[in-house]
């Protein structure tokens, strides 16, 4: 029997508060029709009173309950977020404390919307290196904290939420078959959110401190990047695992825009039922979008043993990546 990385369980946690397209029309000059037509999004969830770490812990707890694995069995926790609550500690350490997963080493990984795919590859690599056998990946975002709700070009796209997955190094012929990751730092400005002000605090006066550090995006550039790199990543994981698209049961893309997903469907001749979409209900939750999809699919009985699935992410960095696994 071969050995490989299997997905054991998933969990997700989204805040209660809904921000509908109709509500956005009261904030900026937009319409329900425009947002649906250009993005496919109808509403998103907003973490009004919750931190990123709280969302992360909620998703992580559900993933562990689903796995029937005690937190003390975890060797590794990788958290992904573009919206951490603090520079230190990491979200992963907050989750480790919240779970009482004392044995796990824990760190955050920054790859924006490609976070889940990158983290899955990192976990698989640690497993292959013999440094861990049971790992939690948790992706959580409170993007509403960096969205400018006076900017109609970005505010309709993003939402808050968290998703998690438990992976295990196991005897199997299946599991993760191939991974691909890429980045193009030259296009960094196409999706940009500042962290600390670049001025030295010793030099700037108190009134120079701006609290308006909002996400800025060149939508067309990101669109072009994703419609080029997503097929490249899919082609590469197919090549790497010696499979063709006809052998794939599911494609789970990062949930950014229905038009980007339509491009993928047309390019590969995929049927709508093969491509999981929930962005109408959550918008773009960055790193959390793929694990939230996986969790919905598992809980709704859509993922069956033996199925092949491609996860494909893209976003800030700019970054992209894909994972091909057999359930």
**Is 291 within 8 Å of 139 (Cβ atoms)?**
yes
- Beta strands in the chain, from DSSP E residues, in sequence order: 3-13, 17-20, 43-46, 76-80, 105-109, 134-141, 161-171, 175-183, 191-192, 216-217, 250-253, 308-315, 319-326
Q: Using omega within 30 degrees of 0 as the cis cutoff, is the peptide bond preceding 8 cis?
A: no
**Is 226 within 8 Å of 314 (Cβ atoms)?**
yes
Alpha-carbon distances of 177 from 48, 57, 127, 171, rounded to whole Å: 39, 29, 14, 14
Minimum distance from residue 201 beta carbon to ligand COA (Å): 31
Minimum distance from residue 185 beta carbon to ligand COA (Å): 16
Provide the β-strand partners of residue 137.
78, 165
Can residue 30 be called a binding residue for ligand COA (CB under 6 A)?
Answer: yes
Can residue 187 be called a binding residue for ligand COA (CB under 6 A)?
Answer: no
Stretch that binds ligand COA, among 6-14, 41-49, 56-64, 220-228 (CB under 6 A): 220-228
CA–CA dist 41, 114 (Å, integer): 20
Q: Which two tokens stand for residue 69?
A: 């694995």
Stretch that binds ligand COA, among 55-63, 72-80, 128-136, 218-226 (CB under 6 A): 218-226
Minimum distance from residue 34 beta carbon to ligand COA (Å): 4
Minimum distance from residue 112 beta carbon to ligand COA (Å): 7
Q: Which is nearer to ligand COA, 77 or 260 (CB)?
A: 260
Q: Per the residue annotation, which of 21, 80, 93, 113 is the catalytic one?
A: 113
Among 20, 22, 72, 153, binds ligand COA (CB under 6 A): 153
Minimum distance from residue 292 beta carbon to ligand COA (Å): 15
Alpha-carbon distances of 160 from 44, 202, 228, rounded to whole Å: 7, 34, 27
Residue 184 gets which letter from DSSP?
A: -
Q: Per the residue annotation, which of 80, 156, 257, 284 is the catalytic one?
A: 284
Can residue 22 be called a binding residue for ligand COA (CB under 6 A)?
Answer: no
| DSSP percent split of the chain into helix, strand, coil, nearest 5 | 40, 25, 35
Q: Per the residue annotation, which of 80, 254, 257, 293 is the catalytic one?
A: 254
Minimum distance from residue 40 beta carbon to ligand COA (Å): 10
| Active-site residue flag, 156 | no
- 81: Cα separation from own chain's centroid: 8
Q: Which is nearer to ligand COA, 60 or 311 (CB)?
A: 311
CA–CA dist 254, 38 (Å, integer): 16
Minimum distance from residue 250 beta carbon to ligand COA (Å): 20
Q: Which is nearer to ligand COA, 36 or 245 (CB)?
A: 36
Among 80, 256, 310, 312, binds ligand COA (CB under 6 A): 256
| Active-site residue flag, 284 | yes
Among 222, 238, 261, 323, binds ligand COA (CB under 6 A): 222
| Active-site residue flag, 254 | yes
**Is 291 within 8 Å of 160 (Cβ atoms)?**
no
Among 89, 98, 182, 219, binds ligand COA (CB under 6 A): 219
CA–CA dist 215, 155 (Å, integer): 10
Q: How many residues bind ligand COA (CB under 6 A)?
A: 18
Residues annotated as catalytic (active site), given as ranges = 113, 254, 284
Residues that bind ligand COA (CB under 6 A): 30, 34-35, 38-39, 113, 152-153, 156, 217, 219-220, 222-223, 256-257, 284, 315
């Amino acid at each position: 029997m071969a050995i490989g990385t299997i997905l054991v369980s998933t969990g997700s946690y989204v805040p209660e508060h809904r921000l509908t397209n109709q509500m956005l029309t009261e904030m900026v000059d937009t319409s329900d029709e425009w947002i649906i037509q250009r993005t496919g999004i109808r509403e998103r969830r907003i973490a009004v009173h919750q931190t990123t770490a709280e969302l992360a812990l909620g998703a992580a707890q559900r993933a562990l309950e689903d796995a029937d694995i005690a937190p003390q069995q975890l060797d590794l926790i990788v958290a992904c977020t573009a919206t951490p609550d603090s520079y230190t500690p990491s979200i992963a350490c907050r989750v480790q404390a919240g779970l009482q997963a004392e044995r796990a080493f824990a760190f955050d990984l920054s790859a924006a919307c490609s976070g889940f795919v990158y983290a899955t590859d990192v976990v698989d690599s640690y497993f292959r290196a013999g440094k861990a056998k049971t790992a939690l990946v948790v992706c959580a975002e409170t993007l509403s904290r960096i969205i400018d709700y006076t900017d109609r070009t970005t505010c309709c796209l993003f939402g808050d939420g968290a998703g998690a997955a438990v992976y295990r190094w196991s005897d199997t012929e299946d599991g993760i078959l191939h991974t691909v990751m890429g980045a193009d730092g030259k296009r960094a400005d196409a999706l940009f959110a500042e962290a600390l002000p670049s001025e030295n605090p010793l030099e700037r006066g108190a009134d120079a401190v701006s609290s308006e550090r909002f996400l800025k995006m060149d939508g067309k550039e990101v669109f072009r990047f994703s419609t080029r790199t997503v097929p490249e990543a899919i082609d590469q994981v197919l090549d790497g695992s010696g499979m063709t698209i006809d052998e794939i049961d599911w494609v789970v893309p990062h949930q950014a825009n229905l038009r980007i997903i339509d491009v993928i469907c047309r390019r590969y001749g995929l049927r709508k039922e093969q491509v999981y979409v929930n962005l109408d209900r959550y918008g773009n939750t960055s790193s959390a979008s793929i694990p939230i999809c996986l969790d919905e699919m598992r809980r709704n009985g859509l993922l069956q043993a033996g199925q092949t699935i491609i996860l494909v992410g893209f976003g800030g960095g700019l970054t992209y990546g894909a994972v091909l696994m057999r359930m």
